């Protein structure tokens, strides 16, 4: 089973970012328990994960809005599950095949408060986010088995007047079961060389902080 680069890298990018959309975004206001395209048990799981992530999002948005360098760094453990229907319709958007079922990813995220304040306030700033390890479980389509996927990202993002303008993820330490690892290794190697995901990363970052501004109004 093969996965072409564009499809897999787009999905992995979404998984790596772990769904940290701003708290004011419309999709985060929706209660997954009311969805009719997934079963009730999955809907309840998504709701519990959503509530658990809220504190992290609020902390990031508050730090970005106030631009205050004082205080502890922002640290959160984040778990995000993506139903296969969402990966197909919201990430890949019919362009490529997603050969797995649901996907769950977890990471411990640490953001330096001084770095975030500088990124939001200085005319030009290169933010070295720091290395983060991500662990994922990709279910098979029938839900009877899972493929493990692990990787690290060490993002560097250039901000100009509070907006991301350049970004590189710097993937490393790709591991897991053979099928997941092989596809991820090919995708991440291409991105490390040609930085093809830069536009998508910039869009996600700027979209997050725009949502923070809207939520604070």
Residue 176: closest CA among 120, 124, 75, 100:
100
pTM as predicted = 0.82
Beta strands in the chain (DSSP E): 74-82, 103-111, 124-128, 132-139, 146-153, 156-160, 163-168, 171-176
Local structure of 110: helix, strand or coil: strand
The total of structural domains in the chain comes to 1
**Residue 141: both structure tokens together:** 């389509």
pLDDT in tens, 55-75: 988 999 999 999 999 999 999
Rounded distance, CA 31 to CA 40, Å? 12
- List the domain range (segments joined by +) for residue 82: 5-215
**Which pLDDT band, with edges at 50, 70 and 90, does 147 fall under?**
very high
Higher-confidence position of 81 and 10: 81
pLDDT in tens, 110-135: 999 999 999 999 999 999 999 999 99
According to the model, what pLDDT value does residue 39 have?
A: 94
**Which pLDDT band, with edges at 50, 70 and 90, does 3 fall under?**
very low
pLDDT in tens, 159-171: 999 999 999 989 9
Cβ neighbours of residue 119 closer than 8 Å, sequence gap 6 or more: 125, 127, 157, 159, 162
Rounded distance, CA 65 to CA 43, Å? 32
**Which pLDDT band, with edges at 50, 70 and 90, does 96 fall under?**
low
pLDDT in tens, 11-54: 555 455 556 655 444 444 589 999 999 999 999 999 999 999 88
């Amino acid at each position: 089973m093969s996965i072409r680069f564009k499809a897999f890298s787009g999905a992995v990018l979404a998984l790596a970012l772990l769904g940290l959309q701003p708290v004011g975004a419309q999709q985060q206001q929706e209660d997954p328990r009311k969805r009719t395209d997934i079963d009730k048990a999955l809907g309840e799981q998504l709701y519990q994960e959503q509530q658990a992530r809220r504190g992290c999002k609020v902390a990031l948005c508050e730090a970005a809005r106030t631009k205050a360098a004082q205080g502890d760094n922002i640290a959160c453990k984040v778990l995000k599950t993506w139903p296969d229907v969402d990966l197909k319709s919201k990430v890949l958007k019919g362009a490529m095949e997603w050969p797995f079922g649901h996907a769950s990813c977890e990471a411990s995220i640490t953001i330096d408060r001084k770095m975030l304040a500088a990124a939001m306030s200085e005319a030009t700033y290169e933010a070295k986010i720091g290395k983060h390890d991500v662990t994922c479980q990709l279910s098979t389509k029938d839900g009877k088995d899972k493929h493990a996927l692990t990787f690290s990202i060490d993002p560097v993002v250039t901000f100009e007047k509070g907006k991301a303008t350049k970004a590189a993820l710097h993937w490393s330490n790709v591991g897991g079961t053979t099928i997941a690892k092989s596809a991820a290794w090919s995708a991440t190697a291409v991105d490390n060389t040609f930085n093809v995901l830069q536009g998508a990363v910039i869009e996600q970052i700027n979209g997050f902080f725009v949502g923070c501004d809207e939520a604070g109004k």
